[in-house]
Structure 1
């Protein structure tokens, strides 16, 4: 995801796939990497500071949940990319021309719902 490092993206993926809040220990286990507990704690703390995750204290540990769905985060990244280019209309038109039929159908449905 744009704006996230490799380990931050991996931690977000764990949280997005989870059906409920996860502790640092649970995220560490799901990452299935040779990492220190404090490394994952720091990553989740950074994600909280950046507004990517919310946390709630339970007993002595924080439990983390995504602040945005994966789809909302992707849409925010797209919005940021469009803001950074000189011709956002050109980018959108190029995307529309190169989109698959399924993607074009999804765009049409989304635009109809917005109206």
Structure 2
């Protein structure tokens, strides 16, 4: 399945990485860069695809395995896992974690707050 994009439109920053990651999520198994290139919309150079895959690997969101003289790539986490990782990274960079968490919880919808309370109740941790 090829990703669709308007003719002549430039991708927003990070959009190409997101497209490549979506292709990895949809794949049944690890993909070679040429497989990813084939599934992307547009005429991207093979080296561009390899660069994007290498960046995803460096960020820890894609894993690679050696096959012959090249690598095959697969996503490390699904979309919810990646979102959770991003949230943790943001929290890790804040000096006042308690205030950030309090503000986050106060901005949740009632249904999200109920869901979070259920999840916290199941975790059994009360430190």
Specify the TM-score bucket, using the shorter chain as the normaliser: 0.7 to 0.9
Equivalent residue, structure 2, for 1:44: 53
Q: Which has the higher contact order (CA 8 A, sep 6+)?
A: 1
TM-score computed with the length of structure 2 as normaliser = 0.71
CA shift digits 1:7-64 (9 cap, x unpaired): 2232112212333222212222332133111110121122223322112234554321
Which has more radius of gyration? 2
In structure 1, runs of 5+ residues without a counterpart are none
Aligned length: 112
TM-score computed with the length of structure 1 as normaliser = 0.77
- Equivalent residue runs for 1:1-115 within 5 Å: 5-59=14-68, 61-115=70-124
In structure 2, runs of 5+ residues without a counterpart are 1-12
Within 1, Cα distance between the matches of 2:75 and 2:69? 20
Within 1, Cα distance between the matches of 2:122 and 2:107? 23
- The CA RMSD measured in Å over matched residues stands at 2.3
Give the helix-richer structure, 1 or 2: 1
